[in-house]
Amino acid sequence: MATTYTAGKYQAEVLDQGFTESASKGTPAFYLQLKILGRYDAGGVVQPCQQYERTYTQYLANEIGVNILKDDLKALGVQVTELTQLNPEVPGHESLVGRTIDVECKIESYNGKQMERWSVPRRKQAKLSRDAIRDLDAKFSHLLRDGTVPPKPPAAKPNSTDSPF
């Protein structure tokens, strides 16, 4: 299957949610059925694009999968204490259906074919300022050197017995 969407950030509407299992191994998973509404441009503005349905799937084979789901839900503003809270068959469940969310498309190779993989983008980490990076460099750069460049000696500080010229 050729990919329709290119890698990037998109806006989508959640059409359905639930639990399923993979056809090949029977691995349990949580899914969101999505309708892609638009693609974010470099300026962060949603632009029109083809509107097809896609599926976000998070496999729950182990603790790592569950922790990824927990972090994805947190990024969407959802916190649950039990997976059953996401089950549409349970009265009072946490429904994402009808919500407009941001999703990210990555193009990955799977069995020799290019595939779209949809995920929930996480908040980007705040970047350190140049001054903060310089401070880190001054503190730890000696750990990064391979020994070929001697470190700079610290600047001599004048003391009370030193007199000016």
- At 64, which CATH number? 2.40.50
Is 157 inside a domain boundary?
no
Q: What pLDDT is stored for residue 73 in this prediction?
A: 97
pTM of the model: 0.73
* Confidence at 139, pLDDT banded by 50, 70, 90: confident
Total structural domains in the chain?
Answer: 1
**What was the pLDDT predicted at 165?**
56
Which whole number is the average pLDDT over 57-74?
A: 97
Range of the domain at 28: 8-119
Q: Which residue has the higher pLDDT, 155 or 141?
A: 141
Closest CA to 35 of 6, 13, 16: 13
Residue 127 lies in a domain: no
Indicate whether 59 belongs to any domain: yes
Q: Is the pLDDT of residue 110 over 80?
A: yes
**137 inside domain:** no
* DSSP secondary structure letter of residue 77: T
- The verdict on residue 85 lying in a domain is yes
Counting runs of H as helices and runs of E as strands, what totals does the chain give? Answer: 2, 6
Q: Are 121 and 9 in contact (CB under 8 A)?
A: yes
Task: Please tell me the distance from the alpha carbon of residue 74 to that of residue 140, in angstroms, as a whole number.
Answer: 34
By residue count, the chain amounts to 165
* Domain assignment of residue 68, yes or no: yes
Residue pair 118/108 in contact by the 8 Å Cβ criterion: no
Query: If you ran DSSP here, which 8-state letter would residue 84 be given?
Result: G
Per-residue pLDDT band for 142 (boundaries 50, 70, 90) equals: confident
- Say if 45 falls within a structural domain: yes
132 Cβ neighbours under 8 A, 6+ residues apart = none
Query: Is the model's pLDDT at 55 over the cut of 70?
Result: yes
Q: Does residue 149 belong to any structural domain of this protein?
A: no
Gap between the Cα atoms of 90 and 84, Å rounded: 7
